């Protein structure tokens, strides 16, 4: 079991329709107090000593959109400070891209948009980590991204897909970036494909329709199990 001292999680939410999903259930079950910076409401950032974990969620903007979203620069500074303070950080989709950029890696448009349920494969290097040592060789997860990132120096490459080489990484044990969405629930899936309906363009190899996404929603249950194992192990560090 992990220490009961680390009981405060702060999360950064960029848009109303991309929230914690099943992470909220895990946090409440394990006695964590949650606080949030909701950038679509009031972009006010908390002080680092006020939390033990930082979770950075997804969003439709890019890490390079500082002219459109003035809070991005301050958000990046906070992420860097939290990493430097040796706290636990989990970035999902945009959150992973922000972590990668903060650590000096490039973020740019991927050759293909990847939207829907597609398989990722875990690397041999993942098996050497404390967090992913027994991850399956591959699993189907939910994606919604057009950008990708290079791996930060000193990080371990964890996963890849046919459409995107760099799907996940871990940096210095406690900092994890996931390009995909293990946290998605049936409810949150509906929220995101409703909000992003304009991106569901037919005829693209890695973009599914809303109907296809809905019909494969059963994968959310196995993704939740994988996520909870990851969170348990992060908590134990």
Annotated active-site positions, please?
A: 93, 181, 183
Helix (H), strand (E) counts: the chain: 6, 9
d(CA 142, CA 119): 9
User: Residue 117: which of 22, 225, 213 has the closest Cα?
Assistant: 213
**Residue the block writes with tokens 């404390």:** 130
Pick from 97, 60, 59: nearest CA to 76? 97
The radius of gyration of the chain's CA atoms, rounded to the nearest angstrom, is: 16
Element (H, E) at 212: helix 210-215
Q: How far apart are CA 16 and CA 91, in angstroms?
A: 17
């Amino acid at each position: 079991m992990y220490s009961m001292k680390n009981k405060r999680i702060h999360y950064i939410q960029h848009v109303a329709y991309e929230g914690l999903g099943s992470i909220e259930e895990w946090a409440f079950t394990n006695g964590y107090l949650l606080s949030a910076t909701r950038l679509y409401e009031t972009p006010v950032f908390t002080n680092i000593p006020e939390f033990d974990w930082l979770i950075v969620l997804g969003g439709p903007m890019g890490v390079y959109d500082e002219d459109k979203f003035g809070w991005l620069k301050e958000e990046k500074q906070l992420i860097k400070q939290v990493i430097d303070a040796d706290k636990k950080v989990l970035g999902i989709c945009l959150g992973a891209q922000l972590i990668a950029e903060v650590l000096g890696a490039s973020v740019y448009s991927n050759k293909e948009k990847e939207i829907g349920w597609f398989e990722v494969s875990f690397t041999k290097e993942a098996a050497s980590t404390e967090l992913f040592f027994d991850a399956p060789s591959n699993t189907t997860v939910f994606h919604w991204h057009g950008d990708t990132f290079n791996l930060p120096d000193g990080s371990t490459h964890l996963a890849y897909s046919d459409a995107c080489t760099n799907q996940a990484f871990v940096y210095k044990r406690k900092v994890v970036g996931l390009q995909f969405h293990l946290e998605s629930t049936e409810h949150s899936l509906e929220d995101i494909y409703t909000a992003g309906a304009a991106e569901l363009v037919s005829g693209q190899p890695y973009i599914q329709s809303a109907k296809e996404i809905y019909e494969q929603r059963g994968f959310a249950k196995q993704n939740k199990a994988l996520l909870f194992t990851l969170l348990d192990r992060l908590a134990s560090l």
